[in-house]
């Protein structure tokens, strides 16, 4: 037989008041129910905790020994419940986030700064990975949520769109396209192109656009990292097509940004992705809300 929290509360109330009626009121038990709890507790411990007669109730030697133990048990339980309430409210715990590199370099720092200011007791781990890896991390549980491009092969994930990011063209300041106010796909196809590897979602989008225009993408340079691509573009070795949100974190020295004709503008769609069959920690919900607020504010700024 084990000790229940109700028995501990009943004992501490009776030890404090030395009155069955007053103790019953404190723990919301009738006198018979209080007596039953004390009796079962004494049976479990194997000793009388109170000496009582028709006129008085006093703690026995075993009762005095158990009093500190009971108080410690109650404190531990109360602290544990408070911690669980903080966890359920999303104010305590851990959050593992998988993030596509372009999002990690552009929007994530601002979101994290605000999130940590409001929820300082959440431990955050960030995994900056390509889209394929982000999806697998959410599926396996290594990440609670992911900020990544929308995927057509992720029916097992909840994908909530948070951003439709127009793609723009980057070229060297002295590149022929820098003199154009807008560019079209014919301009892109005729130019040397610097692209990321096949795992990049933007690269996959570009492959599709080239096919739509009857061409096959054969890049001048294929690289793994954004900074490498930017260096090649700034040196005039080719142009690049990147999400517009990336511009806020890019050193544009030596480069110029040009936009597509409005009707031809392609969009890079970013989602918050979560598993359908596994619940996310409460801290994830508040992070999702801040992401939505951030991207909504960003979209509003672009329109003003």
β-pairing, 122-128 vs 93-99, is: parallel
Asked if 299 contacts 107 with a C-beta cutoff of 8 angstroms, the reply is no
Q: What is the pLDDT of residue 138?
A: 94
Say how far apart CA 166 and CA 180 lie, in whole Å: 18
Q: What is the pLDDT of residue 302?
A: 47
What secondary structure does DSSP assign to 150-182, as a single string? --TT-TTEEEEEEEEEEEEEEEETTSGGGG-SE
Between these two residues, 165 and 19, which has the higher pLDDT value?
19
Between these two residues, 89 and 161, which has the higher pLDDT value?
161
Q: What is the pLDDT of residue 304?
A: 46
* CB atoms inside a 10 Å sphere around CB 86: 14
Task: Look at residue 247 and tell me whether its pLDDT is greater than 90.
Answer: no
Asked if 5 contacts 48 with a C-beta cutoff of 8 angstroms, the reply is no
Q: Write down the pTM of the prediction.
A: 0.67
Say how far apart CA 221 and CA 136 lie, in whole Å: 28
- Tell me what the mean pLDDT of segment 206-222 comes to: 93
Q: What is the pLDDT of residue 299?
A: 61
In 3D, which of 2, 7, 80, 83 has the Cα closest to residue 44? 2
- Percent of the chain whose predicted confidence (pLDDT) is above 70: 97
Spatial CB neighbours of 34, under 8 Å, sequence gap ≥ 6: 10, 13, 14, 20, 23, 24, 27
Task: Look at residue 248 and tell me whether its pLDDT is greater than 70.
Answer: yes
Least confident segment among 99-113, 126-140, 289-303? 289-303
Cα–Cα separations (whole angstroms), residue 143 to 129, 140, 268: 11, 8, 22
- Tell me what the mean pLDDT of segment 66-77 comes to: 94
Task: Look at residue 165 and tell me whether its pLDDT is greater than 60.
Answer: yes
Task: Look at residue 89 and tell me whether its pLDDT is greater than 90.
Answer: no
Asked if 41 contacts 3 with a C-beta cutoff of 8 angstroms, the reply is yes
Between these two residues, 297 and 165, which has the higher pLDDT value?
165
Phi, then psi, of 49 in degrees rounded to 5 = -95, -20
Say how far apart CA 248 and CA 93 lie, in whole Å: 31
What is the pLDDT of the chain when averaged over all its residues?
90
Task: Look at residue 192 and tell me whether its pLDDT is greater than 50.
Answer: yes
pLDDT digits (tens, 9 = 90+) for 124-160: 999 998 888 999 999 999 999 999 988 888 889 999 9
Task: Look at residue 301 and tell me whether its pLDDT is greater than 70.
Answer: no
- Percent of the chain whose predicted confidence (pLDDT) is above 90: 63
Q: What is the pLDDT of residue 226?
A: 83
């Amino acid at each position: 037989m084990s000790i229940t929290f109700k028995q501990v509360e009943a004992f501490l109330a009776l030890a404090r008041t030395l009155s069955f009626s007053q103790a019953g009121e404190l723990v919301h038990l009738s006198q018979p129910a209080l007596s039953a709890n004390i009796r079962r507790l004494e049976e479990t411990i194997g000793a009388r905790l109170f000496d009582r007669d028709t006129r008085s109730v006093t703690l026995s030697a075993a009762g005095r020994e158990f009093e500190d133990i009971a108080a410690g048990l109650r404190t531990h339980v109360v602290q544990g419940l408070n911690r669980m309430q903080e966890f359920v409210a999303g104010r305590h715990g851990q959050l593992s986030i998988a993030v596509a590199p372009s999002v990690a370099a552009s929007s994530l720092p601002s979101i994290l700064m605000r999130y940590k200011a409001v929820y300082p007791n959440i431990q955050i781990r960030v995994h900056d990975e390509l889209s394929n890896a982000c999806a697998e991390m959410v599926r396996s549980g290594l990440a609670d949520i992911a900020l990544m491009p929308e995927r057509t092969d992720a029916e097992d994930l909840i994908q909530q769109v948070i951003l439709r990011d127009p793609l723009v063209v980057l070229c060297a300041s002295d590149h022929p396209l820098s003199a154009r106010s807008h560019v079209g796909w014919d301009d892109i196809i005729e130019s040397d192109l610097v692209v990321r590897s096949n795992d990049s979602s933007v690269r996959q989008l570009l492959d599709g656009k080239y096919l739509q225009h009857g061409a096959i993408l054969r890049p001048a340079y294929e690289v793994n990292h954004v900074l490498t691509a930017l260096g090649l573009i700034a040196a005039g070795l080719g142009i690049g097509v990147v999400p517009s949100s990336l511009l806020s974190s890019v050193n544009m020295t030596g480069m110029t940004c040009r936009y597509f004709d409005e009707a031809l503008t392609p969009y890079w769609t970013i989602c918050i992705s979560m598993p359908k069959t596994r619940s996310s920690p409460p801290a994830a919900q508040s992070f999702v809300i801040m992401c939505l607020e951030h991207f909504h504010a960003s979209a509003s700024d672009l329109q003003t």
